[in-house]
Structure 1
Amino acid sequence: MKRISAALFSILFGTASFAQEPLSAIEWLNQTATATVSPPESVILNAPPVASAVTIPQVQVTTLDRQRADAVGLLPSHSTGLPVSLWSNSNAADLQRRFLNLSPEPLPAIQALYYTLLLAEADPPVDLTTDAEFLLTRLLALRQFGAVEPALALVEAAGLVPGNLFGHWFDLSLLTGQEDRPCAALERRPHLSSDLSARIFCSARTGDWEKAALIYDSAVALDAIDATDQTLLALFLDPDLIDTVPPPDIPKTISPLEFRLFEAMGTPLQTHNLPKSFAHADLRGTAGWKAELEAAERLARTGALPASQLFGLYTARKPAASGGIWDRVAAIQALDAALSQGDLPAVAKGLPVAWAAMRSRRLEVPFADVFGPRLMGLELPNEVTELAFRILLLSSSYGAAAKEQQSEERTRRYLADLARGQPKLDDAQSSLEEAIVRGFMATEPPSAQKTLLDNGRLGEAILGAAAQLDQPSESGRDDISGAIATLRAVGLEETARRAALQLLLLDIRR
């Protein structure tokens, strides 16, 4: 089997430039409403949001059967090296349990592997009983990581299929400011969603304020939307009510629509205490630079935002103050300037500062991927050569860094050999290093994973190995050895090497 490229996700959804222009603001939020509605008679705070349902529309598509909908992916088999039978022999419930219990912030190498698995084109489990069930499981996992754009692309690639997809399409589009298409589709085909709040919003969004008001008044009369949405929609449709109707309390669990409605009435919510997917709302060009930076840092930690976009934001303008995030911005800008000018003393001074800033936010690997190649071959002072070497080993240039390694110092020799995939037991100095060596010395996976592979349950075996590396048990050294052996046995050599290096070099308690 071919080796899977962990960079495919960033290739698909990353930006080529170091800096990115901000997205334009949502112009329709500034439009004046022309309809009037009656305010809700009473407000029940913290009521649960109305569920959305049914299908996703797509212009010029045909209905797909369940098998094809669940097989939808963004990464074809010839790109991933994974067979289309990746999932077909596994139990759907087992896969759902694994996907919905992934670590919220995995090792970066494992995170990249998860994205490859979640986005791969592959036949779903044969025992599925619900339409688009496997696709929905993958969408939920992507949303938990904050990977909104690939999740949105998956939904749109699925086309018009049975199942609860419209709600995902609508939610994801709201978070990225791309709600025009789902709203236009819902206006053409109201049966796509039973969520009256979405119907009201989309009618107004497409300019039919009178229709939106009519649906709203009917829904309130029938008590068909919860009290929080009643108030938010009333204030959205008739801004004159703001002087007489107080806004509702923020719900404990907020939907993307409620988030946007708070924003529309002039009280935007902070996203730092909301699920990761909401952080994308701060990248639409409607938030300040500080909010953009904080959102980008949060998303970059799970690979939901390309490193190039994060560091483009860091270098977009001069820091507005000092302390906190502004110190990180200043550190990155100082190092970037030193490297651009070839000022090696300034690089030596700035590298430890920038590295400490990135470690404080668990952004070591995105930093290494951007700055590692720029450090390659520099004649740096002795006091930072070890740090530069470790940064290079965390980057995608780890192989080239290992080739340049000539020191006979035991730790550096072990790390260089590991980057080549040939660590030596004699150089191991800890139980973790020994476990990693055993994984690379193994000639076959452990029995549990071998059984899965023998039964054609390849994807399940990979998921199991990834979880063992990222969440080892109390006796986790054996788990780590077995996981590395499994990944190498199925052709995931690069993932095995990078994950092992990250286990050793990142500030993680293992």
Structure 2
Amino acid sequence: MSDPGPAPRRLLALLLTGCLMAQPLAAQQPLSASDWLSGSVRGPQRESSAWRPGDGSRRPDRKGQPSRRAVAESGAVGPVQVTRLDQTNPDHTGTQSAHRAGLPHDLWQGSDPAALAQQVLTTPARLPAMQGLMRRILTAQLTPPEWTPEQATEGARGTSGQLFLARVDRLLDMGALQPAQSLLAAAGPGEPEIFRRMFDIALLEGDESRACAIMDGTPGIAPSFAARIFCLAQTGDWAAAAVSLHGAEALGLIDERRAVLLTHFLDDAFVNGEQMLDPSERMTPIEFRIHEAIGQPLPTTPLPVAFAQSDLRLNSGFKARVEAAERLVRAGALSHQQLRSIYSEQRPAASGGVWERAGVMRTLEAALASGDLRQALPRAFDEFRRADMTDLLAGMIAQDLPDSEDAETARITALLQAWQGLRPLPEGVEPLEALPVPDAPITAKGEALMTAMTDIDAALEGDLARAARGVAMMRAFGLTQDADLVAAQIALLPEISEDAG
């Protein structure tokens, strides 16, 4: 690409550096391990959010004149709009009520917001019962934590929305894109930190048009040059995309590696080229999509689990779809029935690994239809247990299993149904030790619940005494059903693990 000369460079400088980027919702880097989000729509401080080639806001109106802002025709007082002041704090946002989530509405009260946000990001939830509880916590509309007089300083108030962003990022860490998208939409895309997450989710879902529409419809939000160039090309304005890329390179506003990637994206000369571009060490959704667009798609297995959502698209191969679905179900981001449906899409094309699980599921589905599970259920149980996925099998079929007179089939049925909380523990399974419920008042409820969940997770490392304390604390919160289910799953771990075979 040739140098446009000094005058065009000066024009580009004016277009590209018109105003400062808006301040983020929480003035700091993302709090979670989802820092792969940060590269898609965050640009340098010099970047402009003014009009660029390809924007629709400067098109002439029907009379051929440039469109203008509406001007009042009189000095009369117009209609009054009322906005709740608490809407400025997204921490109150949720997609389901506290009652529906089965949580106390004042769960966050008495907790330090910063400490709570950190716990939301780091509290483990590996057991399926805890994954379900965590998802309800993240999406529930709860009363935001209040600042104490000591916390109510200007610096502390600068973290308003920190808990909200932590909840969204934890959902993204789980790969739960749709719940995260719904939570962001409920808060509105007006803040840069909210906007860039909405943009990246659209990219991860393979909906580039929606991602660019979000950008175009969110005034005052300064995207990165990579995102702007990408969207100019997506809307068909390839010339403007190329000029913007050259200008960004000339001004040093885009790094060399990303410039090379965008050049391959924009220049047809590279379509049939043999040069393979090395992926970034920290892959972002937009770079992931560009790699796909230039014919160099990347595997999602080594990437954060949210990228696995991309493999669920119908244009992905059957093996990739099954592997992605298994990974997402294990993370608590996809329903077991969605996985079951994907298993049934086609016959396995090979043997071993994911093909074996798909094969035994097809056989098991036929056995469920006939009512004879004596061979199919034990085989499926052994195959999923070898892969440490017995919980996935339970989630898919436990509710459909009939009573059986065959001893082995009846034993497996009892284990799978007890894992799902559909029946009491089978005989011979040692229940988790029941500890007395704490009766002391709990001040920082949210922090205490997160601590209890961390204690429960210790059961996976063999610390049953600590897990029992966590279960007792959950009962103190009135989460009896959750406590019963997690206690059952802890008790059943030795029965469904690979070592049990």
Q: CA deviation at 1:495?
A: 1.2
The answer for the alignment partner of 1:358 in structure 2 is 384
The answer for the alignment partner of 1:412 in structure 2 is 426
- Range 272-281 or range 69-78, more displaced: 69-78
Distance in 1 between residues matched to 2:37 and 2:473, nearest whole Å: 44
Distance in 1 between residues matched to 2:119 and 2:389, nearest whole Å: 26
The answer for the alignment partner of 2:98 in structure 1 is 77
The answer for the alignment partner of 1:467 in structure 2 is 454
CA pair 62-253 structure 1, distance change in 2 beyond 3 A: farther
Q: Are 1:91 and 2:112 counterparts?
A: yes
Distance in 2 between residues matched to 1:85 and 1:109, nearest whole Å: 22
Tell me the C-alpha RMSD between the 2 structures: 2.9
CA pair 64-334 structure 1, distance change in 2 beyond 3 A: farther
Q: CA deviation at 1:48?
A: 12
Contact 2:123 2:454 in 1 (8 A): yes
Q: CA deviation at 1:488?
A: 1.4
Contact 1:198 1:257 in 2 (8 A): yes
Q: Are 1:292 and 2:321 counterparts?
A: yes
Q: Are 1:324 and 2:320 counterparts?
A: no
Q: Report how many residues are paired.
A: 418
Distance in 2 between residues matched to 1:197 and 1:111, nearest whole Å: 35
Specify which of 115, 119, 122 is matched with residue 101 of structure 1: 122
The answer for the alignment partner of 2:75 in structure 1 is none
CA pair 49-221 structure 1, distance change in 2 beyond 3 A: farther
Distance in 1 between residues matched to 2:2 and 2:100, nearest whole Å: 53
Q: How does 1:411-490 map to 2 (within 5 A)?
A: 412-413=426-427, 415=429, 428=430, 433=431, 436-439=432-435, 442-444=436-438, 450=440, 453=442, 455=443, 457-471=444-458, 476-490=463-477
Distance in 2 between residues matched to 1:268 and 1:73, nearest whole Å: 35
Distance in 2 between residues matched to 1:472 and 1:133, nearest whole Å: 30
Distance in 1 between residues matched to 2:490 and 2:2, nearest whole Å: 58
Q: Which amino acid in structure 2 is aligned with residue 462 of structure 1?
A: L
CA pair 121-98 structure 1, distance change in 2 beyond 3 A: same
Q: CA deviation at 1:350?
A: 1.1
Q: Which amino acid in structure 2 is aligned with residue 193 of structure 1?
A: A
Q: CA deviation at 1:444?
A: 2.5
- Indicate the structure whose relative CO is greater, using CA pairs within 8 Å and at least 6 residues apart: 1
Specify which of 368, 390, 394 is matched with residue 368 of structure 1: 394
Distance in 1 between residues matched to 2:400 and 2:196, nearest whole Å: 44
Contact 1:73 1:119 in 2 (8 A): yes
The answer for the alignment partner of 2:420 in structure 1 is 395
Query: For residues 64-99 of structure 1, what are the alpha-carbon distances to aligned partners after superposition, in whole Å with 9 as ceiling and x for unaligned?
Result: 856541211112123123233221321112112212
Gaps of 5+ in 1: 1-35, 39-46, 56-60, 403-410, 416-427
Q: Which amino acid in structure 1 is aligned with residue 434 of structure 2?
A: R
Distance in 2 between residues matched to 1:215 and 1:62, nearest whole Å: 39
- Range 466-475 or range 381-390, more displaced: 466-475
Query: For residues 8-33 of structure 1, what are the alpha-carbon distances to aligned partners after superposition, in whole Å with 9 as ceiling and x for unaligned?
Result: xxxxxxxxxxxxxxxxxxxxxxxxxx
Contact 1:314 1:332 in 2 (8 A): yes
Q: Are 1:210 and 2:239 counterparts?
A: yes
Q: How does 1:490-509 map to 2 (within 5 A)?
A: 490-506=477-493, 507=496
Q: CA deviation at 1:337?
A: 0.3
Q: Which amino acid in structure 2 is aligned with residue 492 of structure 1?
A: L
Q: Which amino acid in structure 1 is aligned with residue 390 of structure 2?
A: E
Distance in 1 between residues matched to 2:274 and 2:85, nearest whole Å: 46
Contact 1:293 1:313 in 2 (8 A): yes
Contact 2:118 2:166 in 1 (8 A): no
Contact 2:40 2:226 in 1 (8 A): no
Q: Are 1:339 and 2:360 counterparts?
A: no
The answer for the alignment partner of 2:150 in structure 1 is none
TM-score by length of 1: 0.75
Query: For residues 202-250 of structure 1, what are the alpha-carbon distances to aligned partners after superposition, in whole Å with 9 as ceiling and x for unaligned?
Result: 1222232222222211111112112222112111122223456934311
The answer for the alignment partner of 2:134 in structure 1 is 114
> Structure 1 vs Structure 2: percent identity of aligned residues?
33
Distance in 2 between residues matched to 1:341 and 1:313, nearest whole Å: 21
CA pair 476-321 structure 1, distance change in 2 beyond 3 A: closer
CA pair 67-485 structure 1, distance change in 2 beyond 3 A: farther
Contact 1:86 1:122 in 2 (8 A): yes
Distance in 2 between residues matched to 1:123 and 1:501, nearest whole Å: 31
Distance in 2 between residues matched to 1:340 and 1:240, nearest whole Å: 55
CA pair 163-238 structure 1, distance change in 2 beyond 3 A: closer
Distance in 1 between residues matched to 2:121 and 2:290, nearest whole Å: 29
Q: How does 1:29-108 map to 2 (within 5 A)?
A: 50=39, 52-53=41-42, 68-103=89-124, 106-108=126-128
The answer for the alignment partner of 1:168 in structure 2 is 197
CA pair 113-237 structure 1, distance change in 2 beyond 3 A: same
Distance in 1 between residues matched to 2:84 and 2:383, nearest whole Å: 50
Q: Which structure has the larger Rg over C-alpha atoms?
A: 2
Q: CA deviation at 1:102?
A: 2.6
Q: CA deviation at 1:190?
A: 5.7
Q: Which amino acid in structure 2 is aligned with residue 353 of structure 1?
A: R
Contact 2:325 2:334 in 1 (8 A): yes
Distance in 2 between residues matched to 1:356 and 1:62, nearest whole Å: 58
Contact 2:276 2:296 in 1 (8 A): no
The answer for the alignment partner of 1:126 in structure 2 is 146
CA pair 282-37 structure 1, distance change in 2 beyond 3 A: farther
- Range 307-316 or range 490-499, more displaced: 490-499
Distance in 2 between residues matched to 1:320 and 1:37, nearest whole Å: 51
* 2:341 counterpart SS class: helix
* 2:482 counterpart SS class: helix
CA pair 186-221 structure 1, distance change in 2 beyond 3 A: same
Distance in 2 between residues matched to 1:62 and 1:324, nearest whole Å: 56
The answer for the alignment partner of 1:379 in structure 2 is 404
Contact 2:173 2:304 in 1 (8 A): yes
* 2:399 counterpart SS class: helix
Contact 2:41 2:199 in 1 (8 A): no
* 1:141 counterpart SS class: helix
Q: Which amino acid in structure 2 is aligned with residue 117 of structure 1?
A: I
Gaps of 5+ in 2: 4-35, 44-48, 50-81, 148-156
Q: CA deviation at 1:353?
A: 1.4
- Range 164-173 or range 364-373, more displaced: 364-373
* 1:70 counterpart SS class: helix
